[in-house]
Structure 1
């Protein structure tokens, strides 16, 4: 580590454990932590609301599939050029399986020659949000049969801490890095991939900015849920969650390097990047749902 007032040097290996054909990345572990935290928070909520905790297992499955599939498809907004010229079979493998091309890798369980198990890489939060909304709708229709906002209000409390864990994983990976900075806490990411520029440049730790904001959002939502009657306004917590989370994402983007191809931003050319443009509809949706929640008040 260099002098704290000059910059902090970050050189962490993103691989936590390496078994040859199997590599366990810190980023993958952070995703596991996100789901585990969500499971325990949701269990507490269901017990508080006197709901059957048996729905947790199918809810977890629906959420996992919706988030992962949505996040991988959402990654196309950032890396469309990477996939568009490859055979469909290779594109599907890379999008939906937790493997990564490696010509020197042996077959995995006799299959996928030239790939190594690496966990999912490239998970877009906007796609994850849409994927979960769809999976929540399907889960609610089959199991809960309540107003969908009842479920979304409660799941909203489980997301911020998970999001914080994932951003810590991004920091460990030296990815989604910030723009150049001379602040005392600026970081030099020595393992920075070349597309972001010089690894010797001190940058905003934008991943940690988001992580800290997400923790704050969790405590705001948790206090409102525990200490007020807002949870009886169906959609209020979900709307507030969307408004706060995507507003944080929008403003932190000013301190980030652009990600991937940025083809949405380039197409619109309005001075915002992909992350900001894709966040605006979510912010507006959150405001609308929160402001109309008084029309959906109920009592236990």
Structure 2
């Protein structure tokens, strides 16, 4: 068994203002995405997107926060927030859903690019290739907070989390940081130039489809070791909410890939 490294979630305080590790992880994720997206825009001379770069970044950041919060409320704890409406906006207390954030990102990105006549598919590929960095940082933030821990285990790297009782548990946050962060980023970053080669099986939108498929698979795997949300438990006797939403992501990603390939083989006249 490993000893859980208890780290104060608050880095420092200035009066009533507290700077937390979890918030810093979000900042690092957004900053990393900002610079890597800008790098790709310059690399591909994507002038359409370059003209709206700052504005679309603001829209997408807001989408992450708003979509993540609404997703958590709707998918994970609707009854509680209906009974405690004053806590709907208390994001600092925790409660963001990546599935909700992902849906909001895609919808808001599609609306913005359509309104400003920017090609959505290559834009989506450029941005989505950088998302795993933020996911990795976010899971490290969850680990520091001692939240979203795993199920009980007798494996030698199990840990006892401060809020998880005396049970030795999987450090599932670190599993997610590795798979959804490092592995997924490496895969997408390696594949990111393929759509620009205009190969039949890699049209624009392929990186977005690949992200949906791989994230859904990785998340579903980690959910096998992650403690189900107490207020929900298991669905259909064996599935967690995270697995259900991730399965929808995988199916959507496969359908998107097929549709994008067909669109390049049979373009509209």
Same fold (TM over 0.5): yes
Matched, 1:78 2:80: no
Select which of 96, 101, 110 maps to 1:128.
101
Matched, 1:241 2:211: yes
Gaps of 5+ in 2: none
Deviations 1:164-200 (A, max 9, x none): 010000000000001112222222222x2xxx4x1x3
Which segments of structure 1 move beyond 6 Å, counting only runs of 4 or more? Answer: none
Give distance in 2, aligned partners of 1:160 and 1:233. Answer: 21
Judge conservation of contact 2:215–2:246 (CA < 8 Å) in 1. no
TM-score (norm 1): 0.80
Structure 2 length as normaliser, TM-score? 0.88
**1:67-102: per-residue Cα shift (whole Å, max 9, x none)?**
11000011112222321213x4x1xxx33355xxxx
Q: How does 1:57-72 map to 2 (within 5 A)?
A: 57-72=54-69
Change in 2 beyond 3 A, CA 1:260/1:132 = farther
Identify if the C-alpha distance between structure 1 residues 157 and 169 changes in structure 2 by more than 3 Å, giving closer, same or farther.
same
CA RMSD of aligned residues (A): 2.1
- Tell me how many residue pairs correspond in the alignment: 258
Map 1:5-154; keep pairs closer than 5 Å.
Answer: 6-52=1-47, 53-76=50-73, 77-86=75-84, 88=85, 90=86, 94-96=87-89, 98=91, 119=92, 121-146=94-119, 148-154=120-126
Distance 2:115 2:123 in 1: 13
Partner SS for 1:75: helix
Q: Distance in 2 between matches of 1:49 and 1:144?
A: 18
Indicate if the aligned counterparts of 1:14 and 1:26 stay in contact, CA closer than 8 A.
yes
Distance 1:224 1:125, change over 3 A: same
